Amino acid sequence: MYTLRFSPDSASLIVRLILEELALPYEARQIDRAAGELSSPEYRALHPLGKIPAMETPNGPMFESAAILLYLSDRHPGLAPAPDAQDRAAFLKWFFFTSTNIHTTLMDIYYPERVAGDAAAGSVVTHASAKMKTLLAAINQAAEDNPNWLSFEQPSLLGYYIAVLMRWLGQNDPEATGYIKASDYPALHKVLAMLEMRPASLAVAAAEGLGKTIFTMPS
Amino acid sequence: MYVLHYAPDNASLIIRLVLEEMGLPYRTALVDRRIRAQDSAEYRAVNPTGLIPALQSSEETLFETAAILLWLSDKHGQMAPTIGDEHRGNFLKWLFFTANTLHADARLLFYPEQYAGSPDDHVAFRGKTEVRISKHLRLLNDIAASAPPYLNKERPSVLSIYICCLIRWINLYPVDRKGWLPLHDYPALFEISKGLQDRPATHRVADAEGLGPTIFTEPHYANPPEGSAL
Ligand SMILES: N[C@@H](CCC(=O)N[C@@H](CS)C(=O)NCC(=O)O)C(=O)O
Ligand SMILES: N[C@@H](CCC(=O)N[C@@H](CS)C(=O)NCC(=O)O)C(=O)O
């Protein structure tokens, strides 16, 4: 049994989609951000940085969304190549690429002042937005071969991770530098369109009030 | 036989130390940064992001330091908790934290121009980034103080090598801030780095890349027999 500490439409969404897709029993417990729960000693015991998500597991508390995904997928196979599979290497490099490059660059776009203060925020967004397009083009190219770890036809760990990140980029103001239109990345768009129709996505979208077409045309 | 695409004292050092420590056969292929070979069509075919390192195995070309570390340790059953081990989850979270938070922030110190425009901005960067990095290291030092199997001074791990190398570069770059990080503020990590530094595997790599004898506790800029660090 897992207990996911979540806040709607935050990084916990990535983990929740995977829990649903793997049909694992879990409890979703909403974090009361307004009441400062992220800074509470109880939450800090789960996650010393006070970020979302954290998840309680039989092996103790987990955090870092990508680490949680890999932990889950190694315990409950089906959404990523097994450790001894031939394509494990290809999967791992793009999975870490997504975590260390795409996810971090997305944070720079949304919270540029954390990087270098208010004065440099505009410049940080400009750099990060240009970089994001290069990063997405690279992974879109990897997706063109329809590998089973980022497939058009079946759900995958990496597919969901990218889909959520692209959801957030698509929520940006279309006039903003950091706005990304999923259809500009055709291979990724196919992955997103398939994933948003999955029962797992529909269930999570309903639970968190995210609306329809949560990946290709997020509201 | 692995092929490690490397430049002296670049992130490839992390992988090289692990390959030596695991006793795996490999050869190196220099990415010559003096002619920006990382931007060449040949290297972009190996790694489309143009970042160093990349590791070629018979099956696949890997990139992303942490992906290579995890793949090597799973494949060879060494230097990290295996799947099913009770420490696996904890190891994974600190590996990802190191890659997407500590390493990502360290890159801001090394390559400010890739993140913001004017040199004025770089100063603001530096201040904020140094504060964040100190915080990350305190957190990792607390973990190291409890000596889990994946981060202790008795046995080298992929994570301890990763963190010690990052601390080395954080202390060396940018050049005008050399030595800014008080290593003794992180005693558990310092102990680990002392142990690592004295291992035969580390000496072999340090010799090959011209890093000197105290690569972690008293780092000096590389004086490599081939290629260049910058
Ligand atoms: N690398 C972390 C990032 C998590 C993260 O930044 N979460 C955000 C929400 S999407 C958060 O907790 N923000 C609250 C804060 O920073 O106070 C992960 O993937 O888990
Ligand atoms: N996230 C990458 C970062 C690697 C990285 O920053 N490599 C640097 C050398 S230490 C690089 O290739 N710099 C060359 C450049 O930016 O042109 C990884 O972990 O492999």
User: What is the per-residue DSSP string for B29-91?
Assistant: EE--GGGTGGGSHHHHHH-TT--S-EEE-SS-EEESHHHHHHHHHHHHT-SSPPTT-TTHHHH
**Predicted pLDDT of residue B45:** 92
Give me the helices (H) in B54-213, please: 65-76, 88-97, 104-110, 119-145, 158-172, 187-197, 200-209
Give A158→chain B minimum CA distance, Å.
Answer: 14
More confidently predicted of A47 and A117: A47
Taking CA atoms only, the protein residue closest to ligand 1 atom 15 is: A51
State yes or no: pLDDT of B129 exceeds 80: yes
The answer to whether the Cβ–Cβ distance between B89 and A60 falls below 8 Å is: yes
A112 and A189 belong to one structural domain: yes
Residue A82 in any domain: the answer is: no
Q: Give residue-wise pLDDT tens across range B207-224.
A: 999 999 999 999 999 999
Residue A113 belongs to domain spanning:
88-198
**Residues sharing a CB contact under 8 Å with residue A116, sequence separation 6 or more, in sequence order:** A124, B115, B116, B121, B124, B125, B128, B129
State yes or no: pLDDT of B117 exceeds 80: no
Q: Return the residue matching tokens 């295996």.
A: B82
Enclosing H/E stretch for A132: helix A121-143
Q: State the total domains in chain A.
A: 2
A104 and A178 belong to one structural domain: yes
Nearest ligand 1 atom to the CA of A38 is 17
Residue A214 in any domain: the answer is: no
Q: Return the residue matching tokens 């997305």.
A: A106
Residues of B in contact with A103 (CB under 8 A): 100
Q: ω before B53 within 30° of 0 (cis)?
A: yes
Confidence of residue B16 (pLDDT cuts 50, 70, 90): very high
Residue A83 in any domain: the answer is: no
Give B127→chain A minimum CA distance, Å.
Answer: 8
Instruction: Using the mean position of ligand 1's atoms as its centre, give its distance from the Cα of residue B99 in Å.
Output: 15
A128 and A36 belong to one structural domain: no
**Predicted pLDDT of residue B148:** 98
Ligand 2 pocket test: pick from B14, B52, B55 the residue with the most ligand atoms within 8 Å of its Cβ: B52
Residue A111 in any domain: the answer is: yes
For residue B114, the tally of other CB atoms under 10 A from its CB is 11
**Predicted pLDDT of residue B69:** 98
A63 and A103 belong to one structural domain: no
Residues in B 74-113 with any Cβ partner in A closer than 8 A: 74, 83, 86, 88-90, 92-93, 95-97, 99-100, 103-104, 108
Output the CATH code of domain B88-199: 1.20.1050.10
Minimal CA–CA distance to A18: which of A61, A78, A58, A87? A78
**Predicted pLDDT of residue A118:** 85
- The arrangement of strands across the sheet holding B26-30 comes to B26-30, B2-6, B54-56, B61-63
Enclosing H/E stretch for A27: strand A26-30
**Predicted pLDDT of residue B35:** 94
Residue A68 in any domain: the answer is: yes
- Alpha carbons A116 and A108: distance in angstroms, whole number: 10
A70 and A93 belong to one structural domain: no
Q: What's the rounded mean pLDDT across residues A112-136?
A: 91
Residue A65 in any domain: the answer is: yes
**Predicted pLDDT of residue B214:** 96
Confidence of residue B121 (pLDDT cuts 50, 70, 90): confident
Ligand 1 pocket test: pick from A13, A39, A52 the residue with the most ligand atoms within 8 Å of its Cβ: A52
- A52 Cβ inside 6 Å of ligand 1: yes
State yes or no: pLDDT of B123 exceeds 90: no
| Interface mutation vs chain A, best among B47, B63, B96, most A CBs within 10 Å | B96
Q: Which amino acid is at B152?
A: N
Residues in A 58-77 with any Cβ partner in B closer than 8 A: 59-60, 62-64, 66-68, 70-71, 74
Where do the structural domains in chain B lie, given as residue ranges?
88-199
A112 and A18 belong to one structural domain: no
What letter would DSSP give residue B103? I
Strand partners, B26: B2
The answer to whether the Cβ–Cβ distance between A89 and B60 falls below 8 Å is: yes
Minimal CA–CA distance to B64: which of A81, A66, A154? A66
**Predicted pLDDT of residue B66:** 98
Nearest ligand 2 atom to the CA of B11 is 10
**Predicted pLDDT of residue B124:** 77
State yes or no: pLDDT of A92 exceeds 80: yes
Q: Give residue-wise pLDDT tens across range B151-203.
A: 999 999 999 999 999 999 999 998 989 999 999 999 999 999 999 999 999 99
Paired tokens of B189:
């990590």
Q: Give residue-wise pLDDT tens across range A165-198.
A: 999 999 998 988 889 999 999 999 999 999 999 9
Residue A213 in any domain: the answer is: no
A125 and A70 belong to one structural domain: no
A26 and A109 belong to one structural domain: no
Question: Do the Cβ atoms of A72 and A19 come closer than 8 Å?
Answer: yes
Please tell me whether residue A178 adopts helix, strand or coil conformation.
coil
Confidence of residue A117 (pLDDT cuts 50, 70, 90): confident
Minimal CA–CA distance to B168: which of B223, B222, B127? B222
Q: Is B10 left (phi over 0), alpha (psi -120 to 50) or beta?
A: beta
State yes or no: pLDDT of B71 exceeds 90: yes
Q: How many helices (H) and strands (E) does chain A have?
A: 10, 4
Q: What's the rounded mean pLDDT across residues B28-34?
A: 96
Count residue pairs from A and B with Cβ separation < 8 A: 126
**Residues sharing a CB contact under 8 Å with residue B92, sequence separation 6 or more, in sequence order:** A62, A64, A67, A70, A71
Average pLDDT, chain B: 95
Nearest ligand 1 atom to the CA of A10 is 10
Please tell me whether residue A122 adopts helix, strand or coil conformation.
helix
Question: Do the Cβ atoms of B172 and A82 come closer than 8 Å?
Answer: no
Question: Do the Cβ atoms of A164 and A187 come closer than 8 Å?
Answer: no
**Predicted pLDDT of residue A115:** 85
Minimal CA–CA distance to B192: which of B170, B219, B171, B162? B162
Buried b (16+ CB within 10 A) or exposed e, B88-100: bbbbbbbbbbbbb
A139 and A174 belong to one structural domain: yes
The answer to whether the Cβ–Cβ distance between B97 and A64 falls below 8 Å is: yes
Share of chain A above pLDDT 70, in %: 100
Residue A40 in any domain: the answer is: yes
Residues within 6 Å of ligand 2 by CB:
A 100; B 10-11, 38, 50-52, 64-65, 103, 107, 111
Give A46→chain B minimum CA distance, Å.
Answer: 12
Instruction: Using the mean position of ligand 2's atoms as its centre, give its distance from the Cα of residue B10 in Å.
Output: 7
Residue A55, domain CATH: 3.40.30.10
- Alpha carbons B151 and B136: distance in angstroms, whole number: 15
Residues in A 114-133 with any Cβ partner in B closer than 8 A: 114-117, 119-120, 123-124, 126-128, 131
Confidence of residue B122 (pLDDT cuts 50, 70, 90): confident
The reply to whether A179 touches chain B by the CB within 8 Å rule is no
What is chain B's Cα-based Rg? 17
A149 and A106 belong to one structural domain: yes
